[in-house]
A = this chain, B = another copy of it.
């Protein structure tokens, strides 16, 4: 009985008290999006699948005439989640960053065009930092104070990643700007 990573994401969210497909989507957008994203087109079929496997139990709980399906973990679901949580994870870490790929090949284009890519990349990470702080951190801190600590711990890793990217891009921008103004000598002087 194979459970996908998205399946475990759902089991985990249900244990944290999130109840519907819609809310799971919202919760992931706020909390796991920086290391695991999903769409509602994945969540609804996955919930069905987990229900067939008897790991979650769903019941209809409409709000007025608007249909709504509320899920909870079964004992088997809780066990499956715990097993997964305790199992060491194969060390995969995948990044898909088309902007970085573009930058990688940017020796073929004008310095100014390349510089624009670096700036866009820095701004992207700065935007992410701001977003995490504004949208995600308050919730993570509230959870932390109630004894659920790891969401905040993981969030801080995300912040560190984007801070590192923003910093490195800022440095690269300075390097490229200096090269543009002063030529080779100055650019070299900053290296050691």
Spell out A's residues near B (CB within 8 Å). Answer: 5, 8-9, 12, 15-16, 31-32, 34-37, 81-82, 84-86, 88-109, 113-114, 116-117, 120, 124-125, 127-128, 147-151, 153-154, 156-157, 160-161, 163-165, 167-169, 172
Contacts and interface: CB of A to CB of B under 8 A. Distances in A.
A39 to B, nearest CB: 12
A97 to B, nearest CB: 4
A96 B90 CA distance: 12
Given A94-B96, A160-B165, A89 B120 contact: yes
A93 B99 contact: yes
Contacts of A127: 91
A32 B93 contact: no
B85 A109 contact: yes
A123 to B, nearest CB: 8
15 contacts: A9-B101, A32-B101, A32-B104, A35-B101, A36-B97, A81-B108, A91-B120, A103-B154, A104-B150, A105-B150, A107-B150, A157-B165, A157-B168, A157-B169, A160-B167
Copies in the complex: 2
Contacts of A104: 12, 31-32, 35, 150-151, 154
Nearest to A8: B101
Contacts of A34: 95
Given A84-B102, A105-B85, A165-B157, A94 B95 contact: yes
A151 B154 CA distance: 29
A75 to B, nearest CB: 14
Given A104-B31, A154-B103, A161-B164, A92 B82 contact: no
A32 B94 CA distance: 11
A64 to B, nearest CB: 33
